Amino acid sequence: MRRHLRTHSDQKRYLCAVCGNKFHRRENLERHERMHTGEKPFTCGVCGRRFTRNNLLINHMRRHTGERPYTCSLCPAAYVSKYGLTVHTASHKRQVPFGCLLCGMKFAAKGKFRGHVCNHSLERLHACHLCPANFIQKYHLRSHLITHSNENPHRCNVCQKAFGRRPALVKHIRVSEHAEEH
């Protein structure tokens, strides 16, 4: 009880020696310090990937098991993390004027809707001239062409994974286990 009451006071007794941030609890300071040291004490027993926090490991393990405990109350979507569900739920609050008559999916953007409709007919309009790949939308062809160039100027500052296009990096940050570290 005493520990809980401290969270309501302004007294933060634990100071980070690197950046000066203060914390109510020693555990929070230790977790914060791992950002500075890069220490990742939590290891996946399946693939060996390491994490700074136990909850990130738990979310990662769900990818191996297929468990998706966070389900949307408005549609069948399910996620491995509460954060993933929160991001998804926000999409329901936006207007979605374009509805597919074949499957009922709804879209806020006309371009996404048209691309989805093409999926039903398997119509692929934009072909790669370097390999057999083809795409519904020109944007996806442009994104794909970067894979042939080996240019990856956009880098995640947590895991150092590199991407050819900024939207791919943004998506990686949004859906990855370490999204909270950005």
Q: Give the tens place of pLDDT for each residue, 72-84.
A: 888 888 988 888 8
User: Same CATH topology for 1-39 and 44-93?
Assistant: yes
Domain residue spans in the chain?
1-39, 44-93
Q: Would the CA dihedral through 7, 11, 12, 13 be positive or negative?
A: negative
Q: Which fold has domain 44-93?
A: Double Stranded RNA Binding Domain (3.30.160)
What is the CB neighbour count within 10 angstroms for residue 56?
21
- As averages over each run of 10 residues, the pLDDT of the chain (182 residues) reads 58 82 87 83 90 88 91 88 80 72 75 72 69 75 78 83 80 74 56
pTM over 0.85: no
The highest-level CATH class for domain 1-39 is: alpha beta
